[in-house]
Amino acid sequence: MRRWIFIVAAMLTCAAADAAQVGLIKIDGAIGPATASFISRAIDLSGERKDECLIIQLDTPGGLLDSTKVIVQKFLAASVPIVVYVGPPGAHAGSAGCFITIAADVAAMAPTTSIGAAHPVSIGGNPTGGEEKADDTMKQKLENFATSYIETIAAKRNRNVEWAKSSVKESAAISSEKALDINVIDLIANDLPDLLKQLDGREVNDRALKTAGATIVEIPMVAREKVFQLLWRPEVMFLLMLMAIYGIIGELSNPGAILPGVVGGIALILALYMAAILPVNIAGLALIGLAMLLFIADIYATTHGVLTAGGIISFLLGALMLFNRAEPGFRLSLAYIIPGVVVTAAFFIFIVGAGLRAQLLPVRVGLETMPGKTVNAISRIDASGGKVFVEGEYWNAVSDAPIESGQPVEIIAVTGLTLKVKPKSN
């Protein structure tokens, strides 16, 4: 009996060892630093597990050029075969997604999907940081680089080089059926099981894939990648900019509050750090800075709101331009811009304005308020001294003219802890 148990266990172990495993990750949204980190980790993990291949299910409007380059380089150096599957039906591999799909060992698409429109302006702006009016020479250099880059990738993977170049130069986009006809992709699969069936037996890097009946093991994002995926968004950077503005200006208008200044300073540093990664338009930042100056100036100047109106317009234009050259997935929605403009205008008009105006009001408490007050003498007051009771406290008082106890006196000066008074005339 024991002998049969050992035989069955050995057979099950062999069957488990022979069962193929395929890694899977799903990318849905813009390509950024978090996406590049996720894909790189998944490739390493899939290689360590000796998966038959790693399938990347892709649906993206595009993304950042730097992140795309990281992903492509990882593809080319990977030990595990990389399969990019543009799906599910209705998905699109635009801009950066086009580069990523062409760079895969096997490029597959679902029916009714599309690929293309990889013009360099759409994949992360220009090298000067996304300025609105980059000179023609710089644009041409970027386009030439992107064209040669995708040409090299397509040639490496034996795909349609001419179409790849047109996707950059002419923003060409095609359907999955057309992509298969002109050798942009390798196959069309209805779903993941169909994809595994078609991949079975395909030669990749001198190795035949064994994916028929393979177990698909999805690799999820870890917490750190999820946080970065959430943070590297234009909406988050916009909110951080607002927090920095409110915190720093709030601290300046109410010195000593401390908390607004600390929060504003941290938010400013994070926003500047994100600006180095995201495709920010410098002109948009300049307009937002101008708006802040106009808001503050109108608090001190008697322009009857003219500068504030100009600040609102400047802030609105700056917010609209802040990411206007970026990939669709990295553009700022009006759902954030309009409330941001309204809240910022209200903040400066009501909160900051009230705080600064309060600082300009005359002092209403303390030693500065005592001269001119009328009180009664507690004891006889003359040049040698006496006592008065003011604001809940007894004070020493002196007077050039003698004043009897109980008589009203007027405070005319404060010298240290002694008040100089004179008889109050009726």
Domain-wise residue ranges, the chain: 10-227, 233-360, 367-423
Residue 300 tokens, joined: 């001190």
| C-alpha to C-alpha distance for 422 and 412, rounded to whole angstroms | 7
Q: What angle do CA 89, 94, 99 make, to 5 degrees?
A: 115
| 248 pLDDT more than 80 | no
Question: In sequence order, what are the beta bridge partners of 409?
Answer: 375, 423
Q: For residue 360, what pLDDT is reported? A: 53
Q: Token digits for 187?
A: 């196959």
Write down the pLDDT at residue 262. 87
Q: What is the pLDDT of residue 126?
A: 42
Encode 138-169: b = buried (16+ Cβ within 10 Å), e = exposed.
eeeebbeebbebbeebbeebebbbebbbbbbb
Average pLDDT over residues 234-248: 84
User: Is the pLDDT score of 236 beyond 90?
Assistant: no
Picking from 45, 43, 48, the residue whose alpha carbon sits closest to that of residue 71 is 43
pTM for the model stands at: 0.66
Going by pLDDT thresholds of 50, 70 and 90, the confidence category of residue 225 is confident
Q: 6 pLDDT exceeds 90?
A: no
Class of domain 10-227: alpha beta
Average pLDDT, the chain: 81
- Token code pair at residue 167: 């996707």
Calpha distance 170→7 (Å, rounded): 64
For CA atoms 161, 164, 170, 176, give the dihedral sign. positive
The yes-or-no verdict on residue 264 having pLDDT over 90 is no
- The pLDDT score that the predictor gives to residue 124 is 46
pLDDT digits (tens, 9 = 90+) for 184-220: 999 999 999 999 999 999 999 888 999 988 999 999 9
Whether the predicted pLDDT of 362 surpasses 90: no
DSSP string, 192-219: HHHHHHHHTT-BSSS-B---TTPEEEE-
The predicted-structure confidence for 44-103, as pLDDT tens digits, reads as follows 999 999 999 999 999 998 888 888 999 999 999 999 999 999 999 999 998 889 999 999
Q: Provide the phi-psi class of 256: left if phi over 0, else alpha when psi is between -120 and 50, else beta.
A: left
- Show the tokens assigned to 358: 């309060």
C-alpha to C-alpha distance for 132 and 322, rounded to whole angstroms: 10
| Percent of the chain with pLDDT strictly greater than 70 | 81
pLDDT in tens, 395-418: 888 888 888 888 888 888 888 778
CB 308 within 8 A of CB 348: yes
> Which residues make beta-bridge pairs with 421?
411
Inform me whether the pLDDT recorded for 9 exceeds 60. no
Please say whether the beta carbons of 86 and 93 come within 8 A. yes
Mean pLDDT, rounded, for 350-375: 63
CATH superfamily of 367-423: Nucleic acid-binding proteins (2.40.50.140)
What are residue 419's DSSP bridge partners?
397, 414
**What pLDDT digit, counting tens, does each position of 156-193 carry?**
999 999 999 999 888 899 999 999 999 999 999 999 99
Confidence of residue 363 (pLDDT cuts 50, 70, 90): low
The type of residue at 342 is: V
Q: Which two tokens stand for residue 255?
A: 């010195």
Nearest CA among 103, 106, 97 for reference residue 198:
106
